[in-house]
Amino acid sequence: MSEPFDTVDIIRTKRDRGVLSPEQIAWTIDAYTRGFIAEEQMAALNMAILLNGMNREEIAQWTAAMIASGERMDFSALRPAPGGPTDANGNKPTSDKHSTGGVGDKITLPLAPLVAVFGVAVPQLSGRGLGHTGGTLDKLEAIPGWRAALSNADMMAQLQDVGAVICAAGSGLAPADKKIYALRDVTGTVEAIPLIASSIMSKKIAEGTGSLVLDVKVGSGAFMKDLEQARELARTMVALGTDAGVKTVALLTDMSTPLGLTAGNAIEVEESVEVLAGGGPQDVVELTVRLAEEMLAAAGVSGADPAAALRDGRAMDVWRRMIRAQGGDPDAALPVAKESEVVYAPADGVLVGLDALSVGVAAWRLGAGRARKEDLVQAGAGVRLHAKPGATVKAGEPLMTLLTDTPERFERAKEALADAVLIAPEGARPANQLIMDRIA
């Protein structure tokens, strides 16, 4: 069978800052998915896109082609609760959240059951960690018995009954993205904004959610280090969602410091349960509530009070049902690391800096993350923080505790933390702003 386009011509077009036609893009994604376009050719095209960008129409067409490579989910069969909210078609409304990844980012765990309290279904398709950013599925798998893999039928049944599900995306959802992402990961093209945006949004649009809230992280522990770059990514993704008929909003949030007081797997579940019990670190509670407000508003629910649902136990009730529905025991003891080592404050003063990337790399080296997708993670490994920026500290006080089953990892974890801490004289206070911008 003859092919309608020449791969090298398409690479040259992007290399020379040209614009690809919808037909060229559709063919490129299809031809690469079926193996006609070679890996080195797609790598060259990805690099040309990284260097020269794409316009809005090209990104939309690239996203649509990746969606077309697989199945699309449909939640129109979900029935609303009696007296509960409905979407424009009289069905149970759906809303989802996506974070671009960070350190200590356990927000999905309390957020999904919290939004479900108010009659909105939350189909949260999540992933595993790679490198210094933690994965939601890795955290939840620290709960004895919990399983990430659900069939579409099981997912629908749980959304109808419980209202929230956190699980792995099926292999049929945007398979072209999985293949392209694996190539980007090993060719230095992960940071290409058109490719990041289309990767995220192809899966979210194919997932079939009615509305979507994006948590775009900014800072050392995020993929986007620069605020203007993060704004560009957020605007691109909001436009893709809007053009696809998905109500989409983005918050830009700070990832210069880890979220909460834990970075790991079991210890982040523990902290999430504290939030669901009405406690937990202030920054985790603030972001959970704000994202819940955005998700509910995007789903058409007004007058809800997510903060009250954390305080009075309603969100905890949904959490327990959600964990049980996926085979987990919400009352089971979580794994605990066999070994620990304390890192102490080097001086008196105010903690004004605690670098998120350094903490994330330390947690990764302790065994909480993986260098390759096939690596196993330690459920109990990670970093427990004893102070956050703004706290007054004294020399010799514990700043953080390192946790692992394999003590030979401590040395390299401490190397990652060598420049993580900044202590200033008394009186200095960092100016932290958790939520930096909103784009709709």
Catalytically active residues, by annotation: 98, 177, 184, 199, 203
Contact status, residue 413 vs residue 378, Cβ threshold 8 Å:
no
Q: Which of helix, strand or coil describes residue 186?
A: coil
- Give the distance between the most distant pair of CA atoms in the chain: 74
Contact status, residue 135 vs residue 126, Cβ threshold 8 Å:
yes
DSSP H stretches of helix in 34-151 = 39-52, 56-68, 108-116, 136-140
What per-residue string of b and e applies to 131-162 under the rule 16 or more CB within 10 Å gives b? ebbbbbbbbbbbbeebebebeeeebbebbeeb
CB count within 10 Å of CB 434 equals 16
Contact status, residue 20 vs residue 10, Cβ threshold 8 Å:
yes
Question: In terms of Cα–Cα distance, which of 156, 151, 189, 168 is closest to 40?
Answer: 189
CA gap 85, 278 in Å, rounded: 25
Question: In terms of Cα–Cα distance, which of 417, 393, 415, 389 is closest to 345?
Answer: 393
Question: In terms of Cα–Cα distance, which of 283, 291, 281, 282 is closest to 252?
Answer: 291
Ramachandran angles phi, psi of 263, nearest 5°? -140, 110
CA dihedral 241, 242, 247, 253 (to 10 degrees): 60
CA dihedral 437, 361, 39, 32 (to 10 degrees): -40
CA gap 103, 230 in Å, rounded: 17
Q: Report the side by side order of strands in the sheet with 95-99.
A: 95-99, 211-218, 247-254, 435-439
Angle at 103 between CA 330 and CA 294, to 5 degrees: 75
Burial of 416 (0-12, 13-18, 19+ CB in 10 A): buried
- DSSP letter, residue 173: S
